[in-house]
Each structure stands twice: as structure tokens, then as C-alpha cells.
Amino acid sequence: MPHLGSGAGAGCGTKVRFEILRDRWQGVNGRAMSLQRRLTLFFIAIVMLPLIAAGYVVRYVVVGEVERRSEMSLEPALGTSVALYKAGVDSLDELVRLSSGSRRFASLLDEGDRPAMSRYLGSHLRDSNQADFLIALDRRGRLAGAYRLPARFATGFETPSASEIARAAGRDSGASGYASRKFPLRSGGRPSGAVIAGFWIDERFLESFAASEAGLAAVSNGRAIASTVPLGESIDLPDATGIYDVAGLGIARVETLTAGTNLIAFVSGAPIDALSTRVLYSMLGLLILALVLTSVLAYLLARLITQPLHELTEGAAAIAAGRFGHQIPVRSRDEVGRLTTVFNEMSEELRGKMGELSSSRDLLQRTVQRVGETLRSTHDMRSILDSILNTAADAVSADAAILWTFNPTRAELYPAITRDIQADDFDRVPVGHGLVGHVAERGVSVLRSTATDKPRPAATEPDLPVSIVVPIYSQERIMSVMTLYRHSDDTPFTTANLDTVAFLADQGRVAIENVILHEEAQRLSITDGLTGVWNRRFFQMQFRTVLAQAMRFDRPFSILMLDLDHFKQVNDSLGHQRGDATLIEFAQRVGDALREVDTFARYGGEEFICMLSETDFAGATITAEKILEHIRAEPFRGVGEKPIDLTASIGVASYPLHGDSYQTLVAVADQALYRAKQEGRNRVCTPGGPPPNLQVAR
């Protein structure tokens, strides 16, 4: 292997590098052709896929609309048939009244002259177009005479005889193939016989209201007994009412006329199938034409895009070889020309940045590693905040750092996490005051380079001359404020340092929101499943936090123990479901009377407990009275149920007045609640005296 040194060796090394770059260029050039093909296919897909989808939608909409209108065209025919059927049945009353109201009819019925009765009925039937048959029965129900007009039923269906009609006359709706009504006759207050009148549901009946758009058929037990058009023997006709797609028949709609006969209106499906085929072939032709045109245009466009890339590729190869001053001629003023100009500017910028990049490589590596650790710490909020604070301090070489968080009322901030500075040396900072309060109120970042810059820190903040203050957001809300300090204004922070800290704070926001989601899942495990308020376990956890803050900053807080009066009567008289609904409504009313920072939980059964942050004994008593007003304001209501007038009893205890532990304060509040029950309920009571073994914090 040759030694690449000075003289001839150096020339040999230059030749080797040139061959490497040439091979790289040839590989890039070969891939450019592949890029052109990919662009061509991509453009074709962009155009053709929407066209194919649009063609499918058009075909679906057109054919669907034709089918919908075909179905709608069946409704008039069926509506007319039902109307004529009902009108025909109603008109039978008048025919029977005319035929049976004469003395001649009564005489023939008494004489039992069947032929004469039949001729008499025929004369009345021929004079009227209201029926197709008349049948007379004597007082014993025997056939006394009948006359029937000929029917036009389908081949294979026998016209019902007079005897068959008489046997089926007990049903008002008739039987298969006809509609009839039976009219009893009385003479001297005694039954004297009956008359049956009716009409055939045959082809003549269907033709009287047939429409040109639809065919009609009368069906009995899946068999056509009459039809306006010839039907094949293999068609399976439906019996049930509804809309069907019948093979060999088309779209059909079925309505019931009588107990034994249904009416089918149908439209042939052949025109719809033909239309669907024509639309399909038309869309295919258009798509083929569009494919050809799109392919040509896509090829030309891809070539126009990829051809200027050759020069840019050559310039990129020069940059890769370390020639950062390489320039590409600008041949146009369009987007490609602007890209070439930017490329030339980039090569000049790279020349100056390489030195800075080399010197900051180690710092960047540490920062990226710290950010990665932060993002992996998704279940411990303090670890994440500590990691964000330390990462930012390392990134800008800060001498000290503090992360400030809000108190429960969000009116003040206190130092939660510190680095190289004692948190006990500083107190709370009100929102809007000092440097930290200014950032917390306005949500802006501040770079302070000298001790005279504004805004000035508050008396409870570090009084250091150089600082960066950045808000940390979570879910569009300021969660905390991060401050970074340097002890001397000889080395002030720069704008680049501020941008770096702001970037890290924004990256930490993602990890913080992951923790919030995790905490929300935990919250669901510590809420009451019925009312949705916190349960006793969460209340105990929250109590420890509030107690620690109260002891540190010498702030009071109070406990309310609440109980619904006579709640057992609700369960006993109205049931447990109404009792559950009452508890839910009670929790909602109490929640409406509380602040967002207060903690309200279900203690057990109908007992609830509330912790009022930074509220003394007098304020707690006022809040308790306010809760009672919310409960007494109106009855408890359930949907469609009787309103219930309910009251509540409340016991009050406060820190440090009545105790400094969970067991003591809850016991005092429970004692006060018991006193409220003893004194008549529906009131707020305070403990009559300190509980035994009470030790008040000093």
C-alpha cells in the first residue's frame, strides 16, 4: 500500500480522492433517473386516484338515484290500489242495502227459491259496478242463492266458488283472490239470513289502477294469482310487506290487501343494469384517456424538476469533499434559481460554522443525552423538572438555577427545585411582582445582562446581576418558571443562550405532558366511581401536601365533614337508584360552591369531606353556610320523578386551631358533624372544645 505523504505521494492521494468523488457522482446521477421515474409515477397516482374515486362515486350516485326513483315510482301504484280496495269494500254496504231491502228479496229468502234468488241477485249485480258477486244465506247459514261475474285470474288459479266464499265469510277481510263483507239480516228482531258481497282481486282489478312505470301482481302464498304483465314460473315472489330486489322481476314493493292476498308493484331491473354498464364503460374510457395525458405531462414535469438537480448534486459532492467555497452558477430567477442562491449562501455559511460546530460538539452531546433522559422519565414530574433545569444550566454554563412553581391558588410562586443555591434563603414571589412574577404573569422570556436592567428581581428572589428567565408551558398554560443566573456581569448571557434555554423548555413540555397524562390515569384510580369526586385515599394524599405547605409558610387550612340528613329514607322509600342519583346531584351542588383549589372527596356512604386550602376557621364557616344554601336552594330532582327536599349537616375544623394531623382534624370535624346531627340537623356546627390528646402546632 503506497504511503500518502508529500510530493508524488500527495499527488497520488489527490487522484484517489478524485476517483472516489467521481464514483459517488456517477451513483448519484444514476439515482437521479430513478427519481425521475418515481416522480412520474407519483404524479400519475396523484391525478388518477382521485379520478378513479370520483368515477366510482359518480357511478354509485347515478345508479343509486335511478334505483331510488324506481322505488319511489312504486308508491303511487300501491297507494292507489289500497285506496281503491278500501273504497270498493266501503261501497259494498250500499249494494247490499239496495239488494236486500226489497220485499221481493225477503219473499225469495222465505220461499227458499234458490234459482229465483240467484236471478234476483244477478239483476242487482249487473246494474252496479261495485261488486263481482252477491251471495244470499238463509237463517241457518245455508246457501240461498248466488251470482258471480266471471273473474280473470292467472292460469292455474281457480275462481273461488260461492260455497267457498260463504265458508270464509266469517273474516271481514276476505280470503285468497277476493275481498268480501258479510252483512247479517234481521226480521222482527230475529236473524233472518245474511248477504255476502265482494269483488275479485284479479287482472281486471289490477288494470284499473296500473301505471305505465310499474307492473302489478296479486300474490297468495308466493304464487301470482293475477298480474298486469306475464310472469315467469320460476320467480320467487315475496309475501311479507316491504321492498325487495327480486331476481327476474326487478325492484318490488309488497303491500297487504287481504288476509290471504298481497299486492306487489315492481319495476324491471334491466334498465338499471344497462345504465350501470354504460356508466362503467364511459368512466373507463375517460380514465384511460386521462391516464395517457397524465403520463405524458408527468414525464415532462419530472424531467423539468430533476434536470437542474444534476448541478446541485455536483455542488453537494464538492461540499462533501470539504470545498465549502464551491459556487453554482445561477441560471434562472424561478424557484430553482432561488434554491441555487440559497445553496451558495449555505456553502459560505458552512465555512464559518465549522469552527463553532467543532468547539460545541461535546456540549451538544451532553445536552442531547440529558434531554433523552428527561423524555424517558415519564412518570416522575420532579425528576423531569430537575433534568430540564440541570440540562439548561449545563447548556449555557449557568452558575445557579431555580425552578419556581405556583401555589394552589396560582397567586404566588415558590422555589421548588434549585441548583447551586439554597432554596431556604428565598420566600414566595407574588405573580406580577419582581422578575419571576413578571414572567409568570405575561408568559414572556427575559434576558437580563446587568444589575440595572428591568424588570428588577423582588426582595424574595436572588439578587444576581445576570439572569435568564423562561416560562415552562404545559397544555397551553404556564406550569412553572425557570431562572438561570451568573454571579458576574463580566460574562453575560447572549441571545443564543436565551434561545437554547427556550428550546430546552419547549422540549421538556412534551415530557411534562406525558407525566400529566400518566397522572390523569392515576387520578381515575383515586376518584369515586359513583359521584366522580375524589375518594378517601386521594384526600389523605392531598392532605399531606397541604399540611406540609401550611407548616412551611405558616398558612391555615380547614376541613369540612358533610352528611346528607335522612338519606336512608330516600333509599328505603324510593330505591337505591334514586339514592345514587341524589348523591351525584349532592356532589355537584357542593362542588359548585367550592373553589378549584379546594379538595372535595367522598368519605363513605352519604358522608363527604372537604379541605379548604389557605382558609381559616371563619372563612371555612362561611363556605359551609354557602354549601347549605346550595343544597336548600331547590329540591333534588330526577327525570320524571317526584322532587325531594333534603338538607345536610356540616362539621368544621381548622389547622392549626383544632389540630395538626390528619387523624386529629378529621376527628374534630366528625365530632362537630355529630353535634350538628344532635342539635337538629340542617346546620353548620363547630367543635364544642378541643378533642382529647390534641396538640396544636406552634
Give the active site residues.
606
Cell numbers linked to 99: 239488494
What one-character-per-residue DSSP string does 42-107 give?
HHHHHHHHHHHHHHHHHHHHHHHHHHHHHHHHHHHHHHHHHHHHHHHHHHHHHHHHHHHSSHHHHH
- H/E stretch holding 127: none
- Among 561, 560, 581, 578, which residue's Cα sits nearest to residue 569? 578
Rg (CA), the chain: 48
Q: How many residues does the chain have?
A: 698
Cell numbers linked to 113: 227459491
Find the angle CA(555)-CA(560)-CA(566) to the nearest 5 degrees.
175
Q: CB–CB of 331/301 below 8 Å?
A: no
Tell me the one-letter amino acid at 621. T
Cell numbers linked to 50: 382521485
Cell numbers linked to 408: 394552589
Burial (CB count <10 Å: 0-12, 13-18, 19+), residue 396 = buried
Phi-psi region of 570 (alpha: psi -120 to 50; beta: other; left: phi over 0): alpha
Question: What 3-state DSSP class applies to 454?
Answer: coil
Cell numbers linked to 194: 245474511
Cell numbers linked to 170: 266469517
Q: CB–CB of 685/677 below 8 Å?
A: no
Find residue 535's DSSP bridge partners. Answer: 602
Q: CB–CB of 238/222 below 8 Å?
A: yes
| Sheet with 215-220, edge to edge strand ranges | 223-227, 215-220, 262-267, 250-256, 242-246
CB atoms within 10 A of CB 192: 16
End-to-end CA distance of the chain: 86
Question: What 3-state DSSP class applies to 254?
Answer: strand
- Among 406, 407, 379, 409, which residue's Cα sits nearest to residue 516? 379
Q: Residue for cell digits 428565598?
A: 426
